[in-house]
């Protein structure tokens, strides 16, 4: 049905912007804190970041405000206000609060995900992040219980895989993940490989997933080490 403007010229049944709907949904239904991020701006010279820094390499993938961590909120009213004012802002979910993130290359992440499903492991949401400057390929972000970032080195040590030898990092306090359907530069959109649902409301402990993830990242380790810059001096 076609929307009919009211006396003020506004459409009474206008569809709300997708980012507003999703941001409010994360706060209202998952009780995740949310913070607005920057957004890509298309121009004749290519894509630039709304932050105004011509050297910004991650348009749409960093906070809008320096005080973002304190301002982040799980209040649907506050979130709705932010995206009503800036409907194009990317959605940032602070890590180290409701969850931490285990961040791995897409190839390793898909291999691990298939293995976890065969093992019938409990899984939380899994996000797909577009490729970023300086990194090869897309990334998978596995949402796990908070505290994983501090425990990751010890968990890898117990598996005989020293930290730094694998392309596997944990994002915890002071960091964030970009939530779907945010756009990141000209590289694409964040997506869900496993969407948040009632079935994955209870997040797994990182210790339950670290084995398959470390194994899969180990298979990619030669390529990861080859891609790392050689130290100078």
Per-residue pLDDT of the chain (233 residues; tens, 9 = 90+): 345 444 445 555 678 899 999 999 999 999 999 999 999 999 887 889 999 999 998 889 999 999 999 999 999 999 999 999 999 999 999 999 999 999 999 999 999 999 999 999 999 999 999 986 556 689 999 999 999 999 999 999 999 988 788 999 999 999 999 999 999 988 799 999 999 999 999 999 999 999 999 999 998 765 555 555 444 43
pLDDT in the model for residue 4: 45
How much is the pTM? 0.88
SS3 29: helix
> Do the Cβ atoms of 166 and 221 come closer than 8 Å?
yes
Q: Is 64 in a helix, a strand, or coil?
A: coil
For 82-104, letters b (16+ CB in 10 Å) and e give bbeebebbbbbbbbbbbbbbbbb
The confidence score (pLDDT) of residue 18 equals: 96
Helix, strand, coil percentages for the chain (3-state, nearest 5): 35, 20, 45
By the 10 Å C-beta count (0-12 exposed, 13-18 middle, 19+ buried), 20 is classed as: buried
In which residue are the tokens 């348009």 written?
A: 59
DSSP structural state of residue 140? E
Are β-strands 176-179 and 100-105 bridged in parallel, bridged antiparallel, or unpaired? unpaired
Burial 206-228 (b: 16+ CB within 10 A, else e): beebbbbbbbbbbebbeebeeee
At 53 the three-state DSSP class reads: coil
Residue with tokens 């897309």: 138
* 124-to-146, 196, 204 alpha-carbon distances in Å: 12, 7, 6
Contact 53, 185 (CB under 8 A): no
Q: What does the pLDDT read at residue 15?
A: 87
CA atoms within 13 A on the CB side of 8: 3
pLDDT score at 11:
54
């Amino acid at each position: 049905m076609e929307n009919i403007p009211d006396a003020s010229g506004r459409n009474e049944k206008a569809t709300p912007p997708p980012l507003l709907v999703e941001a409010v949904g994360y706060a209202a239904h998952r009780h995740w804190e949310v913070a607005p991020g920057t957004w890509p701006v298309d121009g004749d010279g290519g894509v630039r970041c709304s932050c105004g820094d011509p050297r910004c390499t991650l348009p749409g993938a960093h906070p809008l405000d320096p005080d973002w961590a304190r301002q982040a909120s799980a209040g649907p009213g506050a979130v709705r206000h932010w995206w009503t004012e800036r409907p194009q802002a990317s959605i940032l979910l602070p890590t180290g609060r409701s969850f931490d993130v285990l961040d791995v290359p897409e190839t390793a992440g898909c291999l691990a995900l298939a293995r976890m499903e065969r093992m019938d492991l409990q899984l939380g949401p899994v996000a797909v992040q577009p490729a970023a400057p300086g990194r090869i390929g897309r990334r998978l972000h596995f949402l796990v219980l908070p505290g994983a970032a501090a425990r990751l080195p010890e968990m890898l040590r117990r598996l005989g895989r020293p930290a730094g030898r694998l392309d596997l990092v944990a994002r915890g306090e002071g960091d964030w993940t970009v939530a779907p359907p945010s756009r990141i530069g000209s590289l694409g959109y964040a997506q869900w490989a496993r969407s948040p649902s009632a079935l994955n409301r209870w997040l797994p402990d990182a210790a339950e997933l670290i084995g398959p993830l470390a194994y899969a990242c180990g298979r990619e380790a030669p390529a990861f080490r080859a891609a790392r810059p050689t130290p100078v001096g």
